[in-house]
Structure 1
């Protein structure tokens, strides 16, 4: 891993970039049999899916019978994710049984995967178990309600999806919801949003998930007003731990970005331990049953070079996106301008993705810069894996200065939901970026960075 405290071999100062605010297509590429890397999980026949689950259950039971040395053995459970993942054999229980009273294996543990109810009476099943409350948000194909479990009075979020409308207007988007359900059913980590129940009928899908009331992570950073490297390190540690866990499950997110990092609740103190951040939106995720993937999707600004070149890629694309997120968290702007409509060649990639830091980040620690130089390595083979990033001393908190204040809170652009956003913000930023790029051609001076606008997946 090299000398973690050494300076990266990149230029230390240079311009930061923001993304064009132009409209990108909101319709996702169809995830189906045309996917050259194998059909996604939702398209797998139900029998094969059930057989895989049975094999997995048998393996877990076998591990748990290893005289306390298996993964279910509480006395010797060893963390591979920085101690942040939940012990599957521990005493932690879901607030809500996954299906009925929960399915129990031979060793007595409860299956924590979300329950899936399918049939024409699913709406009745929903109302029997939950009380639907006020609307939290309305999208083009779904409505999100706050809901309350009638048995334990706990609050959750219920997304109601109109299947008919999706098939009429957004061909292939149903597969996105199915992909997210299949991925989240496999993931139980404190820094990944929890799925509790799914109710499926011909007309509607009800998805009951963890209620996220704290808003976007970066909005919290802006509102907080100050952020030290030590605080940023703690936040990055939680996200990286979730990424390691996800990759251990052979799931690649493929759309990591600030908008997909939410807080469980508003922090009530300045303590970093109070920042309960979680990864959301697994609609573009992939169960990697083959070594590489090829489907071009994601969000501009967070796409790895190999993705932009339309080449085969691996879970290393998540590491790149993590690097971009860390850069924005520390510097308040995007590290690269990758809004080009053309697919860059190898020579252009090397010239385009030179890691440079803005002038206001000159006090950033050498350890933080070292981490970024490894995560934002254009070569996916030598790029840090999530596990290597989690082991980095800056992410562990060993070399993150507690008194080093970052300039990023004053430069990160708050989301529209956070207020103070005009209707013409996207158009204004698009014009500003176009003018900035023209000025760059005539000057070698670093232009002032604009705050980053939000971008949509495609």
Structure 2
């Protein structure tokens, strides 16, 4: 994969690096402004003095091979002073686990919207032979318009693990917390498998029977019996969900308003 080499002058003339908006395994993510177009972008910056730089290059190459509206697009990449810069689409709405959006406050129609968007993205990935294996609220990003974007991961797992993770994610979005937190070395899935119990919504009367049935299907303990992403897309809970306008736009307006109040005080 080709990476542009650039001088300090080129870097400074193309992007103005703004505030840091995230820190992860692949370095820091900054909001930046393209000085030629004025557009805001997200830039991943990775120190290339360690082996994580190659992993980030591989991630970038993988993202460039995808063509799906719910996967963030790579716009540019360059190397400068032992650091790799990858410019990507900015998801200005943040993630579904950020402090302003929060979890546990989404309506069922909004949760169904998230479910359908994630399922459609997973279907695309699975058909190309990839497994995400890390579906969770802070890996589900939103644009300013409330559109869903999925941060991509990969690992040696079967695609049915993504269905289980989506079910747990929807539980967290509905109730604001995971159905169980354990401190042992066992995974949450292993705990439920050992107990032969299925995670479920605590406030049964608050949610529709369709939502309960969707979660029961997605959280089927036996992976061989768990429905595929393609089958879940036909489920009554998500079948009639419309993509536009996004029902999450109102949440974004509310979170920005609350954020402005916090800044004022």
State yes or no: 1:132 paired with 2:37.
Answer: no
Say which of 242, 252, 277 aligns to 2:131: 252
**Which of 140, 161, 175 is equivalent to 1:317?**
161
Q: Deviations over 1:138-167 (max 9, x none)?
A: 748744443333443322122221112xx2
TM-score when scaled to structure 2?
A: 0.76
1:210-229 alignment to 2 at 5 Å? Answer: 210-219=89-98, 221-222=101-102, 226-229=105-108
Give a deviation string over 1:103-152, Cα, whole Å, max 9, x none. Answer: xxxxxxxxxxxxx4344x36555445x22232334748744443333443
Q: Give the structure 2 partner of residue 156 of structure 1.
A: 41
Instruction: Spell out, residue by residue over 1:235-260, the C-alpha distance to the aligned partner (whole angstroms, 9 max, x if none).
Output: 22112211111222222122211111
Distance 1:203 1:359, change over 3 A: closer
**TM-score (norm: length of structure 1):** 0.47
Residue 181 of structure 1 corresponds to 60
Rounded Cα–Cα distance in structure 2 between residues aligned with 1:334 and 1:227: 15
Alignment counterpart, residue 110 of structure 2, candidates 223, 231, 250: 231
Question: What's the C-alpha RMSD, in Å, of the aligned pairs?
Answer: 3.4
Which residue number corresponds to residue 245 of structure 2? none
Higher strand share: 2
Pairs within 5 Å for 1:242-391:
242-265=121-144, 274-280=145-151, 282=152, 284-286=153-155, 293=156, 313-337=157-181, 339-342=183-186, 350-352=193-195, 354-391=197-234
For 1:353 and 1:123, the matched residues in 2 are separated by 59
Match of 2:244 in 1: none
Is the contact between residue 156 and residue 211 of structure 1 (CA under 8 Å) also seen in structure 2?
yes
Q: Distance in 2 between matches of 1:277 and 1:256?
A: 13
What is the distance in 1 between the residues matched to 2:69 and 2:47? Answer: 29
Gap runs ≥5 in structure 2: 242-250, 252-258
Structure 2 residue 237 is matched with structure 1 residue 394: yes
CA gap 1:254/1:144 in 2 versus in 1, 3 angstroms: same
Other-structure match for 1:117 = 3
**Distance between the aligned counterparts of 1:248 and 1:349, measured in 2?**
28
Supply the distance in 2 between the matched residues of 1:134 and 1:256 (Cα, whole angstroms): 28
Contact 1:179 1:285 in 2 (8 A): no
SS in 1 for 2:94: coil
The answer to whether the Cα contact below 8 Å between 1:261 and 1:277 also exists between their aligned partners in 2 is: yes
Q: CA deviation at 1:221?
A: 4.8
- Contact 2:200-2:216 within 8 A present in 1 as well: no
Number of matched pairs:
244
Q: Give unpaired runs (5+ residues) of structure 1.
A: 1-45, 47-115, 266-273, 287-292, 294-312, 399-408, 410-416, 421-458
1:261 positional shift: 1.2
Partners of 1:199 and 1:227 lie apart in 2 by 39
Which piece of structure 1 moves more, 317-326 or 183-192? 183-192
CA distance in 2, matches of 1:212, 1:343: 30
The alpha-carbon distance between structure 1 residues 226 and 138, as it changes in their structure 2 partners (threshold 3 A), is closer
Tell me if structure 1 keeps the 8 A contact 2:192–2:199.
no
Find the aligned partners of 2:139 and 2:189 in 1 and give their Cα distance: 30
Give the drift of 1:356.
4.3
